[in-house]
Structure 1
Amino acid sequence: MRMGALAVLLAASMYGTLAPAVKRAYEAGLSFAEVTFGQLFWAAVLLTVVRVGRRLLFDRRPSFSRRPFVARRGVREEGKKATPFRPEEEPADEGGRGRAIAGLAALGVAGLAGVSLAYYGALRTLPAQVALVLLFQFVWMGIVLERLLFGVRITAGRALAVGLIFAGDALALRVWAIDWSAVDLRGMALGLLAAGSYTTFLLGTARIRAPYDVVDRSLVMVVTGALVVSAFFRLTEPSASLLAPPSAFGLVLWLALFGQVLPPLLFNWGAPRIGGAATTLLSSVELPVGMITAAVVLGEPLGGVELAGVALIVAGVALVAYGDTAGGGKPAERALG
């Protein structure tokens, strides 16, 4: 549990470092298509290299193997514990494998591709402050969906954490200073779509029981996302360049590594261990990390009100992390009822 929470916190923190890199990429003249597709393309390349290299060096048995089903999560038939490079369970039939791959592909479409297209699209017509407010609706969306779909009770501790996180968001983003009457409706719709897509990604990584290790799971998601993004731009902007010039390769590689390689690996490993609700709440750490990174890297101002908001968000995240790792047992079992 503690390692699962740490993995989710690291993944969300990495997402928080992307905003300065995206801003620098646009300042360098990269287009929406080059930023969005480029990171997914190079992420697919990096994950493929990792998969092939691991198989050549360490694993003579293909990852998509036909070994017997192991019922209990985290324990294999021969008594070995699951690791990031060992599947947690394997279905005995091809139908189970097909359903697992379809689920992962759906996360690649709705999660990785959906968030990128919707959120970056919202930023084209909305101020970044408004887009962030809309994106962070994933906090309550995840909690409510866990309750409606899986019967996970909203505990008092998690309700308090949601309150702290929303209060922190309001302070950190100064929502009272936003002129909502001037906000573009299409941009608002895209921002809320990004929140829904991110919620789907977080809950899906926690719930889909794929019979493959995190590298294979992440690779399926990233490749599917790249194909969808490529098709989207070929249909909407046929003449658009999809790959950035060599001079901007470093920026795109940063976005690929910290946006589409490491976070999916960490989410795929950590989210199933702590549950969807805890994953959603812990992912709120993305905003404080993003604000601090922007202040350090870009020199953006960070005043007392914003720092107070950051402190409240961190307090909410800490409450979830402590409550979900101190109680023992499976997260779903502790929340049901």
Structure 2
Amino acid sequence: MRYILLVFLGACSYGILSTIVKLAYGQGYSPAEVIGGQMFFGLVLTLLPSLFFLRKRPRNGQWLLLVAVGLTVGSTGIFYYNALQYILASIAIVLLFQFTWMGVFAEAILNRRLPDRQTMGSLIILLIGTLLAGGIFESGGIEEFNLIGVCLGLLSAVSYTLFLLFSGKAATTVHPWVRSASMAFGSFLLASVIYPPVFLFNGALWDGLFPYVFLLAFFGILLPTVLFNFGIPHIGAGMAAILGAAELPMAVVSSYFVLHESVSMLQLIGVIVILLGIVLPEWLRQRGTKRNPARN
């Protein structure tokens, strides 16, 4: 339960990002500045604590593997933030949330074992809740589709699925703080190639950009990466994908309180359905454990 809570909190921290990004875009900052700044300060925030745990450094092969996993973190942000330029945020987050079933089925393929009934039931509930909470059934929802935006949104789901899948398997003997710093370096490397960090020299950073990118780095790189690195190796990518659905309710709540965006009754029902889908599989497993202690 401790590791489940860590992954749940990491997913919740991701839910705050869309609100911060909207605030930054509202101030006129570009995706290049927002993404580049987030990845830069994410590297700084994870690198400093990792210096205290470098007595046993990762081998070159382990380090390269962790950097490769970090590329999936960077690509998720790049795909998702750019999708927001073409489609509604409600559509983009629904597309991103396809990682819930992608992660479960990817783990099933790798393990050559079908998901159990509790997991499948939870996935169905999560998908229904995601469509409701994302406002897909509201007026102007499905009609706002744009092919480029849809492709970018689906690519963000694939990238996030790869992160959930491999972050719990890559170099697990390396200390979680060192793993997090290595992944953050991969994210920054990818962002720097696509968006050269000119924000470090053009004055934008100290002209109002810093608070936004620092918060994005804290809630989007430092906190979730560390929590996932501690938790996912103990619970698996399938359960992590289900817990990751906590991001959407947090996104809805934060946009309501911070951006004062309206939340419809359907969206509120969707949030409740998602929370039910997260809690249900673990509750059923705990109930099964009490009824059949000999199996466990």
In the alignment, the residues of structure 2 paired with residue 13 and residue 171 of structure 1 have an alpha-carbon distance, to the nearest angstrom, of 18
Question: 1:245 is matched with which residue?
Answer: 205
Amino acid in the other structure paired with 1:102: L
Which of the numbers 133, 136, 149 marks the counterpart of 1:172? Answer: 133
Question: 2:13 is matched with which residue?
Answer: 14
Matches within 5 A, 1:271-286: 271-286=232-247
Matches within 5 A, 1:174-323: 174-177=135-138, 178=140, 180=142, 183-234=145-196, 241=199, 244-246=204-206, 247-323=208-284
Native 8 Å contact 1:115 1:197 kept in 2: yes
Q: In the TM superposition, what is the alpha-carbon distance from 1:318 to its structure 2 partner?
A: 0.5
Residue correspondences, number = 286
Stretch of structure 1 that moved more, 241-250 or 307-316: 241-250
Q: Percent identity?
A: 34
Native 8 Å contact 1:282 1:320 kept in 2: no
Distance change (3 Å), C-alpha of 1:207 and 1:325: farther
Amino acid in the other structure paired with 1:13: C
Q: In the TM superposition, what is the alpha-carbon distance from 1:325 to its structure 2 partner?
A: 6.2
Question: 1:30 is matched with which residue?
Answer: 29
In the alignment, the residues of structure 1 paired with residue 250 and residue 37 of structure 2 have an alpha-carbon distance, to the nearest angstrom, of 24
In the alignment, the residues of structure 2 paired with residue 204 and residue 39 of structure 1 have an alpha-carbon distance, to the nearest angstrom, of 22
Distance change (3 Å), C-alpha of 1:128 and 1:273: same
Deviations 1:313-335 (A, max 9, x none): 0000011343466767xxxxx9x
Higher helix share: 2
In the alignment, the residues of structure 1 paired with residue 261 and residue 141 of structure 2 have an alpha-carbon distance, to the nearest angstrom, of 21
- What is the CA RMSD across the aligned residues, in angstroms? 2.1
Tell me the secondary structure at the aligned position of residue 28 of structure 2.
coil
TM-score by length of 2: 0.90
Q: In the TM superposition, what is the alpha-carbon distance from 1:264 to its structure 2 partner?
A: 0.2
Deviations 1:55-107 (A, max 9, x none): 5xxxxx71317xxxxxxxxxxxxxxxxxxxxxxxxxxxxxxx33322221111
Q: Which runs of 5+ in 2 are unaligned?
A: 290-294
TM-score by length of 1: 0.80
In the alignment, the residues of structure 2 paired with residue 5 and residue 164 of structure 1 have an alpha-carbon distance, to the nearest angstrom, of 19
Deviations 1:116-146 (A, max 9, x none): 1111111111111111111111111111111
In the alignment, the residues of structure 1 paired with residue 229 and residue 75 of structure 2 have an alpha-carbon distance, to the nearest angstrom, of 18
1:49 and 2:48 correspond: yes
Tell me the secondary structure at the aligned position of residue 9 of structure 1.
helix
Native 8 Å contact 1:274 1:324 kept in 2: no
Q: Which runs of 5+ in 1 are unaligned?
A: 56-60, 66-96, 329-333
Q: Which has the larger radius of gyration?
A: 1
